[in-house]
Structure 1
Amino acid sequence: MFNYLKELSFTRGAWLLLTTSCVALEATALYFQHGMGLNPCVMCIYERLALLAILVAGMIGFLAPRFILTRWIALLLGSYGAVKGLTLAIKHTDYQLNPAPWNQCSPFVEFPETLPLNVWFPSIFEASGNCGKIVWQFWGLSMPQWLIAIFAVYTVLFACLVLSQFKRSSGMRERNLFS
């Protein structure tokens, strides 16, 4: 399995599939926001950013998957986005399932002053929803519960891809940055 995953990490098609899956999920989030009128909360925005990190990782990996440095940057960024997204989705689910005055998210997104995404792109990154309120369900699961499953799949995928990089290549030649 690790041989297959390592070979897969060398192909642009795999990175394109990763990027496409993230674009589809981001488009779905924007449809929920603008098409269905569901206002995103602060945690939704942060989860969106974690998914955006995976999307960017897919684009980086697509650029030059055979170069070891590019591939490792993509794998590490994607791993970070997946794990961060998973922890955010778990916390968001906790806000919804265990509502209490002391268990709530901030009402405002907190971006660095040098990168105020909510000011630059308010239609995408401005939060006006309530983190503790369940506004949508499918098969009895809320959005953050679905995101737990999605980010868990991404986390397992990236963990296996990272581990596969340590597997000896059989007949494959990978180029490093200096060759």
Structure 2
Amino acid sequence: MMTRLRQLSVRQWSLAGLAFCALMMGVALGLEHIAGLAPCPLCIFQRVAVLSAAAVFLVAAIHNPAGRLGAAAYGALSLAAVIGGIGVAWRHLWLQSLPPEQVPSCGPGLDYMMDVLPLRDVLSMVLSGSGECAEIDFLLAGISLPGWTLIGFVVLALAPLGLLFAALREGPREPRGAVVAKQD
């Protein structure tokens, strides 16, 4: 199994990461539109992290870079998006763990904040949390949605790490059809 994982190409790692991002977004949209669970601002930021990673994986899969630099660049960019998602999910879980008297009060909605505030202020307010982000609306096996999202991001991190390991393994590729002279 490990030998097979070591042999995966940049495109294969990218497609695996993209497929897992699609799965995560499918679950999120299903919970929103089928189960009726409205996303809070931190949930939306987690979705942005998933979509950011998906965008990097898509470009990497299409580009399928030759050599170490491209694989490393795509691995680093997608890992940055995943780490951002891990941070937001962790913050969300922390807010849910607070006693009710320590939960921040609910602020204005994300749409309103995006309309009237600079992006830096919106990010600061959302990450400081609000009462709606501390509510636990759904549990599966005793784990809240941000907990499952955190688990999803940890699993998703395998794809960028695979890209980075592929970068370590990859050497520069010869163009297709090139004749390589053997040296003695």
Range class of TM-score, shorter chain? 0.7 to 0.9
CA distance in 2, matches of 1:156, 1:80: 13
Among candidates 143, 154, 174, match of residue 141 of structure 1 = 143
Counting only pairs closer than 5 Å after superposition, residues 114-153 of structure 1 correspond to structure 2 as 130-153=132-155
Q: Which residue of 2 aligns with 1:55?
A: 54
Counting only pairs closer than 5 Å after superposition, residues 167-178 of structure 1 correspond to structure 2 as 167=169, 169=171, 173=173
CA drift at 1:87: 0.8
Q: Does 1:14 align with 2:17?
A: no
Secondary structure of 1:130 counterpart: helix
Among candidates 151, 154, 157, match of residue 156 of structure 2 = 154
- The range that moved more, 104-113 or 42-51, is 104-113
TM-score (norm 1): 0.72
Tell me the number of residue pairs that the alignment of Structure 1 and Structure 2 aligns. Answer: 160
Task: Give the letter for the 2:154 counterpart.
Answer: A
Secondary structure of 1:150 counterpart: helix
- The range that moved more, 37-46 or 70-79, is 70-79
TM-score (norm 2): 0.70
Secondary structure of 2:133 counterpart: coil
Task: Assess if the C-alpha contact under 8 Å between 2:71 and 2:163 holds in 1.
Answer: no
Deviations along 1:88-142, one digit per CA (max 9) or x if unpaired, are 1111000001145655487443659899xxxxxxxxxxxx981000011111100
Task: Assess if the C-alpha contact under 8 Å between 1:66 and 1:174 holds in 2.
Answer: no
Higher helix share: 2
Task: Give the letter for the 1:143 counterpart.
Answer: L
Task: Assess if the C-alpha contact under 8 Å between 1:50 and 1:85 holds in 2.
Answer: yes
Task: Give the letter for the 1:29 counterpart.
Answer: A
Task: Give the letter for the 1:52 counterpart.
Answer: L
CA distance in 2, matches of 1:106, 1:152: 29
Q: Which residue of 2 aligns with 1:30?
A: 29
Secondary structure of 2:60 counterpart: helix
Question: Are residues 160 and 13 of structure 1, via their aligned partners in 2, closer, same or farther at CA, if it must alter by over 3 Å?
Answer: closer
- The CA RMSD over aligned residues, in Å, is 3.3
Q: Which residue of 1 aligns with 2:95?
A: 95
Identity over aligned residues, as a percent? Answer: 25
Stretches of structure 1 lacking an aligned partner (at least 5 in a row): 116-127
Deviations along 1:64-88, one digit per CA (max 9) or x if unpaired, are 2133454344212210111011111
Counting only pairs closer than 5 Å after superposition, residues 106-117 of structure 1 correspond to structure 2 as 107=107, 108-109=109-110
CA drift at 1:20: 1.7
Task: Assess if the C-alpha contact under 8 Å between 1:5 and 1:161 holds in 2.
Answer: no
Question: Are residues 71 and 159 of structure 1, via their aligned partners in 2, closer, same or farther at CA, if it must alter by over 3 Å?
Answer: closer
